[in-house]
Amino acid sequence: MNYATLPQTSSQIALPAWRSRTLFVLLLLVMLALFARAVYLQGIHNDFLQQKGDARYARVIEVPAHRGMITDRNGEPLAISTPVESVWASPAEVEIDLRQLMNLARVLEMKPEALRDKLQARRDFVYLKRQLPPEQARKVAAMGIPGVTLQREYKRYYPAGEVTAHLLGFTDVDDNGREGIELALQDELGGKPGSQRVIKDRRGHIIEDAGSLHAPKEGGDVALSIDSKLQFLAFREIKQAVLDHKAKSGSVVVLDAKSGEVLALANWPAYNPNNRKGATLSVMRNRAVTDMFEPGSTMKAFTAAAALEEGKYNPDTRIDTGDGKLTINGRTIHDTHPDGVMTVAQIIQKSSNVGSSKLALSMTPQTFWGHLSDAGFGMRTGSGFPGEASGILRDFKTWRSIEQATMSYGNGISVSLLQLARAYTVFANDGELKPVSMLRQAGHTAGEPVYSPRTAREVRDMLELVVKPGGTAPLAQIRGYRVAGKTGTAHKLQNGRYVNEYVASFIGMAPASDPRLIVAVMVDEPSGTEYYGGLVAAPVFNNVMSASLRALDVPYDAPLNNVLQSTQLVEEET
């Protein structure tokens, strides 16, 4: 009703003035309210509403990142991630009839009851089965069951299988490293999934890229120092030796003598990393790196080096080992073959415990400890391998004379095989201790001078005698190459007592004139008829070393008739 056009009516019915005023105020209030609401929606609450609006058509999708590849030094792939599909469901949205359920269960190779339980879970997201091969995934997609969706994931494959199992380790179902190199280099290898905002149409097709929130970071490829040819050889030989000698386990390490790079590292027993079902923790352990053992006579090279370095001895100094018995602190040290007066070189060649004890006792504990510590004993090698053992080299202040003597032939000191192999780089590099590396190194790697070049060469010459007839390991001789090495046959320590179980070992380098490779072999508890390092470990060394030298085209440094037949090798204990 318009009062203005009907003045007479208004004058007839005189309305109280407050009514129009009230109306005016009410209208004003409504307007204010609308205005406030507008400000609230478009200003203050804008972000939320914008977000809700976008959510009708914009989606944030995850862009999966690829895990980097692990290759050997020549680019051969050792671990590759390939995409697989995982099937997941949001149970609330699933519409499935009994026949479809049976079908799906069959394709997924699950029990129908188990599948039904999963589909009835009170969750928004449930994995039905992870990491399906593509063919199976395609069948699932073809069924087109609402609420059941595929998701791309990556699965790791190791083409070399058990050969590289301990070295590489493995990843978990989310493709994160859990063991070995996979864990050690997780930061380099692992990719970070990115996310992207996109606009989808009604049918779910992406029609516009609305900008990347963060770009996925693809995992980087890593080139290891491993040579897959040598790795394979090493694995085959150590496996054969462990089986032949009915041993508990065995390990072998091949180092590049010049750079300290690990060319091969293998253990037996091993497992298949592509299918870890049934693999126990003890089988999965990388024994060459994580396990410690008493090295036995392989330590004598360092005792001799320390004694030479102190200047009181030279390789021809004569030492009386008497009748092969030496009693210190009420304990007697024995030689298997008492040989009377021997030179320092012969002590190494024939592996005399009494002789090396006398060499060790000529030094103060601190000096001897210093030389061993300099060679890397009691310290991690810096390989970066997870769970690496540091070995045990006790503080010299706690040493008694008998302990100093037994340590000279490797009892009362613990090492890992990798550590021991690394320590031998000092003899291969004129006294320089090289850092151990699992990654391919470019160019020269600087070492740390530990012994004088002269000492290192003299010890190397002594180690050459070990493989000659009259030494403990004539079986380590290689046709065409000069070999220097040392055997070890150490009694095992069980509950604080030495028992008649042994660790047979051999560590050597070739060609001795200018060493290219160091091969360290360790066989734990050989329980066949043979247990000497010279009989159990030296042949493994021989096979691995000779094949590796051939594979690397290392020129001969000896005439081809250098292998001397010997009637008998010198036996040793420790």
- If binding is defined by CB under 8 A, does position 229 make contact with another protein? yes
Task: Give the nearer residue to another protein in terms of CB position, either 159 or 193.
Answer: 159
* DSSP code, position 474: G
Q: Which is nearer to another protein, 81 or 574 (CB)?
A: 81
What residue spans of 295-380 are helical by DSSP H? Answer: 300-309, 344-350, 353-361, 365-374
Q: How far is the CB of 77 from another protein (least distance, A)?
A: 5
443 DSSP assignment: S
Tokens of 84: 């697989």
Task: Give the Cα separation of 130 and 549 in Å (integer).
Answer: 45
> Quick one: which of 6, 133, 479, 513 contacts another protein (CB under 8 A)?
479
If binding is defined by CB under 8 A, does position 357 make contact with another protein? Answer: no
Residue numbers 485-524 binding another protein by CB under 8 A: none
Strand 325-328 to 194-200 pairing? unpaired
The residue annotated as part of the active site, out of 228, 251, 259, 297, is 297
Candidates 79-87, 384-392, 470-478, 526-534: pick the segment binding another protein (CB under 8 A). 79-87
Strand, coil or helix: 266 = strand
The yes-or-no answer on residue 297 being catalytic is yes
CB of 78 to another protein, least distance (A): 8
The answer to the question of residue 280 lying near another protein (CB under 8 A) is no
Using the rule CB under 8 A, which residue among 52, 56, 99, 205 binds another protein?
205
Residue span binding another protein (CB under 8 A) among the ranges 230-238, 350-358, 384-392, 492-500: 230-238
The footprint of another protein on this chain (CB under 8 A) covers a number of residues equal to 26
Contacting another protein (CB under 8 A), which of 33, 206, 215, 499?
206
Cα separations in angstroms, 349 against 33, 291, 534:
103, 28, 12
Cβ closer to another protein: 205 or 397? 205
Hey, which residues between 544 and 563 contact another protein (CB under 8 A)?
Answer: 556, 560-561
Of 377, 367, 396, the residue nearest 308 (C-alpha) = 367
* Contact with another protein (CB under 8 A) among 233, 241, 253, 348: 233
Residue 264 or 426: which CB sits closer to another protein? 264
Least Å distance, CB 71 to another protein, is 10
Residue closer to another protein (CB basis): 163 or 393: 163
Q: Is 157 in the site for another protein (CB under 8 A)?
A: yes
Is the CB of residue 119 less than 8 Å from the CB of residue 94?
yes
Q: Tokens 């690990």 identify what position?
A: 262
Binding map of another protein across residues 82-121, x = CB under 8 A, - = no contact? xx--------------------------------------
Of 117, 188, 208, 323, the one binding another protein by CB under 8 A: 208
| Residue 507 neighbours by CB under 8 Å, 6+ apart | 298, 420, 421, 424, 485, 486, 488, 518, 519, 520, 521, 541
| Cα separations in angstroms, 548 against 137, 287, 464, 543 | 44, 22, 19, 8
In whole angstroms, what is the distance from residue 397 CA to residue 294 CA? Answer: 20
Q: Which is nearer to another protein, 66 or 434 (CB)?
A: 66
Q: Give the whole-angstrom CA distance, residue 137 versus residue 207.
A: 25
Closer residue to another protein, CB minimum distance, 82 or 513: 82
Give the distance from CA 463 to its chain's centroid. 31
Q: Is 76 in the site for another protein (CB under 8 A)?
A: yes
Distance separating alpha carbons of residues 507 and 376, to the nearest angstrom: 16
Question: How far is it, in rounded angstroms, from Cα 137 to Cα 134?
Answer: 5
Measured from the CB atom, is 437 or 546 closer to another protein? 546
Nearest CA-CA partner of 295 in 444, 413, 453, 400: 413
A 10 A CB-CB count for 309 gives 23
Beta carbon of residue 199, minimum distance to another protein (angstroms, whole number): 9
Among 62, 113, 209, 320, contact with another protein (rule: CB under 8 A): 209
Q: Is 228 in the site for another protein (CB under 8 A)?
A: yes
Which residues contribute to the site for another protein (CB under 8 A)? 66, 76-77, 80-83, 157, 159-160, 163, 205-209, 228-229, 232-233, 236, 479-480, 556, 560-561
Active site residues: 297
